[in-house]
C-alpha cells in the first residue's frame, strides 16, 4: 500500500562546527499551500555566525501553460569571522534583506533552468578594532542556473548526484 506524504511538515536541525559553534534551524513546509501544488517553506536559522529568516514559494505554473516560478525573501544578520595574516580580529556584522523573483522551466524530471532577479539592502555595521566602515548598499542581482538533479531526495539524499551551473 502506498501512503501519501504529509502535506505539512516541521523540521528541527542542530549541529556544531569550529567556525560558527552551535547552530540550529527550524523549518516549516506546506507542499500544497493554495491547493494547486505550490510549495511554501519558512525557515529560521541561528548560530554564532549569524541568523535570520527565509521564506520561499515555488509553483509549477505562473499561468496556464507558462513557466514555473519562485519567490524568495530573506532577512539575515551575518557575523563572519575576519582574519589578518592568520590572526582572528573578531566578527564583522552585516544585515542583509533580499527579495528574489524568478521563472523556472523543467525538461523532464531531472533538468531545471532558472532565471531570477534579486533586490535588497546590505547594511554594514562598524565594530571596534575591525576597520570596517558603516555603509548601506543597495543589492541588484540577475541570476541564472541550470541544474541536473538525480538525487533520490532534495533535502536528505541517500543516493544520486546533482550538477548545478550558476551565474550571477
Pairing state between β 81-84 and 68-78: unpaired
140 grid coordinates: 541588484
How far apart are the C-alpha atoms of 88 and 79, rounded to whole Å? Answer: 13
Query: Mean pLDDT per segment of 10 residues, for the chain of length 168 residues?
Result: 82 89 93 86 93 93 81 92 80 90 87 92 80 85 92 82 92
> Cα(159)–Cα(97) distance, rounded to whole angstroms?
34
Q: Report pLDDT for 16.
A: 93
User: Using alpha carbons only, what angle is made at residue 154 by residues 152 and 156, rounded to the nearest 5 degrees?
Assistant: 80
**DSSP assigned state of 5:** P
pLDDT of residue 106: 85
Provide the CATH number for the domain formed by 27-167 in this structure. Answer: 2.40.160.50
Domain boundaries, the chain: 27-167
Identify the pLDDT of residue 135: 87
What's residue 45's pLDDT? 95
* Cell reading at 144: 541564472
Amino acid at each position: 500500500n502506498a501512503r501519501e506524504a504529509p502535506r505539512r511538515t516541521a523540521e528541527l536541525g542542530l549541529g556544531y562546527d569550529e567556525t560558527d559553534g552551535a547552530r540550529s534551524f527550524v523549518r516549516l513546509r506546506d507542499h500544497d499551500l493554495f491547493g494547486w501544488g505550490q510549495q511554501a517553506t519558512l525557515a529560521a536559522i541561528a548560530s554564532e555566525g549569524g541568523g535570520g529568516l527565509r521564506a520561499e514559494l515555488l509553483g509549477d505554473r505562473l499561468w496556464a501553460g507558462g513557466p514555473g516560478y519562485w519567490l524568495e525573501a530573506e532577512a539575515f544578520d551575518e557575523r563572519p569571522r575576519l582574519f589578518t595574516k592568520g590572526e582572528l580580529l573578531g566578527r564583522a556584522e552585516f544585515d542583509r534583506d533580499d527579495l528574489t523573483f524568478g521563472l523556472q522551466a523543467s525538461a523532464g524530471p531531472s533538468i531545471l533552468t532558472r532565471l531570477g532577479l534579486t533586490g535588497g539592502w546590505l547594511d554594514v555595521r562598524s565594530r571596534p578594532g575591525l576597520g570596517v566602515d558603516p555603509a548601506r548598499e543597495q543589492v541588484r542581482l540577475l541570476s541564472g542556473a541550470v541544474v541536473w538533479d538525480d538525487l533520490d531526495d532534495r533535502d536528505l539524499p541517500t543516493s544520486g548526484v546533482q550538477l548545478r551551473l550558476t551565474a550571477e
